[in-house]
Amino acid sequence: MAKTTLDIKYEYDFILIGISCHEKEYRLSWALNQSLHFELERRKDMQIELKKQSEPLSYPFFEYDDVENYRKYYLISNKCTGGMLLPEQKQADFLLMIKGTIRPPEKISIIKAIKEIQLVLTAFEINPEQLKSRENLLF
């Protein structure tokens, strides 16, 4: 009997910003709220099951729904005690995911504003299409 496989191509239609910051997730969330006028709120931790791990890994997760601009912002920790969400992005302690339409000048101003936060060491855009572990970002 012939074997049939299903190839699924996911669309990664979001902007991903890596943030390097040695503070706790709640302090960064508060700083982003103050600086960018967000309303990030803590949600249930994001659970990821990796093949290598026997138990799912738990990553702190914050969400802000910007109804006026039809955008959603997610702040996700890239690190937990069991491993990294995106192992190929070791320099990113946190990930800011932006879903919705955003113009390039707005994106640049958001990255610039994040870099100006005193707690943040640096911020940079990440292309999700080039990540090996990009499927960890699908939720």
pLDDT digits (tens, 9 = 90+) for 36-71: 999 999 999 988 887 666 788 899 999 999 999 999
In a domain, 3, yes or no: no
Counting the structural domains of the chain, the total is 1
Tell me the HSE value of 18 on the side-chain side, using a 13 A CA sphere: 19
Mean pLDDT over 124-130 rounds to: 89
pLDDT of residue 28: 96
CATH number at 122 reads 3.30.160
| Residue 9 included in any domain | no
In a domain? residue 76: yes
Residue 6: per-residue pLDDT:
58
pLDDT at position 134 = 72
**Measured distance CA(77)–CA(79) in Å, rounded:** 5
Is 1 contained in some domain?
no
Q: What average pLDDT is seen over the chain?
A: 88
In a domain, 8, yes or no: no
Residue 84 located in a structural domain: yes
H or E element, residue 36 = helix 25-36
Residue 2, in any domain of the structure:
no
Judging by DSSP bridges, how do beta strands 61-66 and 57-59 pair with one another?
unpaired
- The answer to whether residue 7 is domain-embedded is no
Distances (CA, A) of 99 to 46, 68, 118: 17, 13, 25
User: Whole domain around residue 71: which residue ranges?
Assistant: 14-47+56-137
